[in-house]
Amino acid sequence: MKIGDKVSVIDEDLEGTLVSVNDKTAIFEDLHGFRHEYPLAQLVLRGNLIYDEVPLTKKEETKKNISQKHQKNAMKIDLHFDQLVKNPNEYDSWERLFIQKERLMEVLDFCKANKIKRLEVIHGLGEGILQELVYEVLRGYTGIEFEENEFFKHQSASVEVVFIT
């Protein structure tokens, strides 16, 4: 260590610039102008002086292996009636709900049979009749999990179903 070097004290939050160096002690001045005397064994050099001669090597980042079956996006079913039939105007309202319910149950059974892990059911926004029908059907199924938010009931146009079996 020589005069002018930046040093800090081991186990204390104190640093400064060396003003004088003796055989076993050194005096340094901190940022506020106060002088402190410490044994050389308790002082360490600060700054890049220690690492100037060490070459930098860039290591490649390792890639995390992710299973292919977990990378798949959720299967989606859109229960809007015009997506299910060719002529939506030819059906009564009770027929519409019945067809939508049947289609939902078919897709749920298909997902269980084919071990599909996630399904996104798009019921849309509106008066909430179809949304309530979807939740009613989902409550009747076992081996599935879904989030049923009573607080945000009419703010979500879809519900994600996770098959746990």
- Start-to-end CA distance of the chain, whole Å, equals 68
Which tokens hold the place of 102? 């049947």
pLDDT at 56 over 80: no
Highest mean pLDDT among 44-58, 83-97, 141-155: 83-97
Q: Which H or E run contains 53?
A: none
pLDDT at 50 over 70: no
163 CB burial (10 A radius; 0-12, 13-18, 19+): middle
Is the model more confident about 125 or about 22? 22
pLDDT at 20 over 80: yes
Q: pLDDT confidence of 117, banded at 50, 70, 90?
A: confident
Q: Calculate mean pLDDT across residues 1-23.
A: 88
Q: In the prediction, which pLDDT does 29 show?
A: 92
pLDDT at 68 over 70: no
pLDDT at 91 over 60: yes
Residues 119, 107 contacting (CB under 8 angstroms) = yes
Q: In the prediction, which pLDDT does 67 show?
A: 63
